[in-house]
Structure 1
Amino acid sequence: MAQSKTARASVRAGQASGGALSVLGEYKYLIPLNGGKNVYVRNLLTGKTSRVRTDSDKFVEEIKSLADGGHGVKIKAELDVLQTSFPDHGWDVTTKRLVDAGVFGES
């Protein structure tokens, strides 16, 4: 399957910054798309970027993998920033779904 221009640009941005997309020196795990319905998940552990629906099991699996690898606090903080920045995109619902699934440990 061919990669979109956006996906290729995301990969190039990651390569240009040493394998990590960063903003002000911080690695960004989540790149929101389509009003919060989809997201690019940048996996520092595997070096891969996946495009997934935020309401899918694949999204939960991707975030759980990162959280289990010690990145849960940073991802949770990113979700909080997304909710503040884009309150109409449902990031609070996405975060609740992850918390309910036990992604960030015991709730």
Structure 2
Amino acid sequence: MAIALDRLDETDIKILRLLQQNARLTLKEIGAQVNLSSTPVYERFRRLEREGYIKAYVTVLDEEKLNMGFTVYCSVTLKQQNKANAKEFADVIMGLQEVTECYNISGRF
């Protein structure tokens, strides 16, 4: 179901931008930035939720402080597939600080 953006006015868009930057802003803080009192901001806020413009509230964690990165799975095919090339590739990949694990799942080598 597509939601028509033309149903949003400039104030709605400002509210959404503010919430994207900081979803913990109070209605009063948002109102001060869009020149509305808390009640009309609340009504707009609830309408934006009800109509699906706001899908979820999330917390963005600091992965550095948590010593966590992200996981990437990729498939690699070597131009020449032999044990020497596979070993060289694995050595290079495992030499990268960002790579913590590397698996050979093809069973060819």
TM-score by length of 2: 0.27
- Which one has a bigger Cα radius of gyration? 2
TM-score by length of 1: 0.27
Structure with the larger strand share: 1
Structure with the larger helix share: 1
